[in-house]
Amino acid sequence: MNRIFSGMQPTRQLHLGNYLGALRNWVDLQNSYECIFCVVDLHALTIDQDPEVLRNNIREVAAAYIAAGIDPDKNILFNQSVVAGHAELSWILSCHTPLGWLNRMTQFKEKAGKQKDMANLGLYAYPTLMAADILLYKATHVPVGEDQKQHLELARDIAGAFNRRYETEFFPLPEPQILGEATRVMSLRDGKKKMSKSDESEYSRINMTDDADTIAQKIRKAKTDPEPLPETVTELEARPEADNLVTIYGALAGQSREQVLAQFAGAQFSDFKKSLVDLSVDKLAPITTRMKELLADKAEIDRLLKKGGERAAAIAEKNLNDVKDIIGLLRP
Ligand code: AQP
């Protein structure tokens, strides 16, 4: 059986990168796989959180999933912390993960910055918790943006090491699914930096909750160069900011970059940006409106998350018990 697990952190608002790199693909995949979509709130604790803001962000991410088209009845939709098995399996897997493997993780190096000794243990162990998230459900496929590829490879390595150690094929080796035209959406202020929730500049990203005026303002201010749009993708590749805007347009329009250039080659960026604003508002406004409607009834979101959590817990409990039996933890 093919099963998908994927998640997003409730750290600030979701942005266009989260949507195009992951969420939008989930919507298509829910028709072909058994899907488990998680709001990974334990991961969010790797940065300092205000409790009230965190609670709201968890609901907001759940609302974004549903507003984007995830069906909470057909799929399992829940928040990670309600299933204790994530933390439990994470501990078990961390005892099977050499430090050298974690030392290679580039995201930790980027996020910890120069003050590595001050970074918290959770940030360092983040990839082991992510491996536990996936393996707890014996997921076979994990749709993510390109930035998560290294963590996914580690999850495969951990699953393989566990299977070899206990001479079993218990864990499937999860396959990354890096799909679509926009696997790595870049910052609107710097075409060499990933669009990210934690970027200090609000103008670096389009949030899924931005209204039409804010989207227009951010796209108008997006960094570009003085040249018009080129004719070929090869010419585009030396111009990261231009490439990013063309990629975003293509992903929203369901077109390749070649198709976008066939339409806009020779156009000035001021004109292209107007079309990009119209397209972005057109695609995001219905999602934003639906999110607002959903968030007006917090009790209903909590009810959906509770129901999803119960369904997730049933699968998790069975798999975790099997893991305990395999490794010799007594369950009297
Ligand atoms: N810029 C991006 N382009 C394409 N995909 C992206 N994803 C994130 N940024 C981009 C994908 O979105 C999913 C959820 O990501 P996450 O919320 O778990 O954490 P992240 O990858 O660390 O995202 P951010 O925005 O960079 O958050 P911060 O700044 O808090 O670290 C994943 O599938 C990810 O690949």
pLDDT at residue 13, as a whole number: 87
| Closest residue CA from atom 26 of ligand 1 | 196
pLDDT at residue 198, as a whole number: 85
Which residue ranges make up the annotated binding site for L-tryptophan? 133
Predicted-complex ipTM score = 0.95
pLDDT, tens digit (0-9, with 9 covering 90-100), for 258-279:
999 999 999 999 999 999 999 9
Q: What is the pTM of this model?
A: 0.95
- Is 24 close to ligand 1, i.e. is its CB under 6 Å away? no
- The conformation of residue 75, written as its DSSP 8-state character, comes to S
Q: Measured in angstroms, how far is the CA atom of residue 196 from the centroid of ligand 1?
A: 6
Contacts of range 211-217, beta carbons closer than 8 Å, 24 or more positions apart: 211/288, 212/281, 212/285, 215/277, 215/280, 215/281, 215/284, 216/277, 216/281
Q: Which residues of the chain have pLDDT under 50?
A: none
Which residue ranges make up the annotated binding site? 9-11, 17-18, 133, 145-147, 185, 194-198
CA-derived radius of gyration, the chain: 21
C-alpha triplet 17, 19, 24: angle, nearest 5°:
135
pLDDT at residue 180, as a whole number: 86
| Ligand 1 atom with the shortest distance to the CA of 11 | 30
| Ligand 1 atom with the shortest distance to the CA of 194 | 1
Those residues whose C-beta lies under 8 Å from the C-beta of residue 172, and which sit 6 or more positions away, are 138, 139, 140, 159
Tell me the C-alpha distance between 228 and 222, whole Å.
Answer: 15
- Is 97 close to ligand 1, i.e. is its CB under 6 Å away? no
| Closest residue CA from atom 12 of ligand 1 | 18
Q: Are 150 and 106 a contacting pair, CB within 8 Å?
A: yes
Tell me the C-alpha distance between 299 and 5, whole Å.
Answer: 25
Q: Measured in angstroms, how far is the CA atom of residue 11 from the centroid of ligand 1?
A: 10
DSSP 3-state of 161? helix
| Ligand 1 atom with the shortest distance to the CA of 111 | 31
